[in-house]
Amino acid sequence: MKEIGLVLSGGGARGAAHIGVIQALEEFGIHATRISGTSAGSIVGALYANGISPAEMLKIISQVTMFNAVRPSLLPGGLLRMDGLQLLLKNHLPEDFSKLKKPLTIAAVELKLGQVNYFDSGELIPAILSSCCIPGMFSPIRFKEALYVDGGILDNLPARPLHEQCDVLIGSHCNRVTPWFDVTNMKVVIERSLLMAIGANTLQSKHLCDVVIEPHGLDKFSAFDIGKAKEIFDLGYKFTKENLRKADLAKILG
């Protein structure tokens, strides 16, 4: 059986585009056998690895709001805790990687050593929360006797752990940096700067992928536009349906 890997980048709310990409890939007859993800990509990747359909994934993601996903934090190192997101994940995912229907790898950054770790066994939900932990916004996640933050800081498109295991590797990247940008407030400037910094670490990862899908138009959405999941999903779906070339399909399915 041909091993098809799917790598899902981080990107906050823009990660809903991954669901549209998956929907389109499945309509082309492409079903990933191994998955890796960072941050938002780890959430979508875990749901997909658990056998949840794109339609059901979109329904689940659409339930998330900033109000129900996070709580104020009294811990040092962050303003918020991801209590609501943790509860949502527990409702739809098993406790352990081994219970998933497809192999999954999740990237998170170990804060003290400053290195990226790839989790593919043991407790699942703490690994996802670690991967999603935006520094400064969320308190670092204590997991396996260490502190973790967002995997996107060092590897926002985790192709490396799948590269040697797959015959074909597909990257879905939702953080494409474009020149269209307007300085409206400090939050926008900070988010743009972080996007560019994270974008730099994806270049090598893209070269490891046989096919890279980068939906256009996502730059108009903030990483916090959770309420626009359906619109973001549609962009990912439409772009993939219209732009996946016959040569790419032959490479993946051949």
In the set 9, 36, 42, 150, the catalytic residue is 150
Give dist(CA 249, CA 241) in Å, integer: 11
39 included as an active-site residue: yes
Q: Write the DSSP symbol of residue 99.
A: G
pLDDT tens string 108-156:
999 999 999 999 999 999 999 999 998 877 888 999 999 999 999 999 9
- Which residue among the candidates 9, 39, 139, 172 is catalytic per the annotation? 39
Q: At what angle do helices 16-27 and 229-243 cross, to 10 degrees?
A: 40
User: Please, are residues 236 and 17 in contact by the beta-carbon 8 Å criterion?
Assistant: yes
User: Is residue 188 very low, low, confident or very high in pLDDT (cuts 50, 70, 90)?
Assistant: low
Q: What is the pTM of this model?
A: 0.90
Q: Is 150 among the catalytic positions?
A: yes
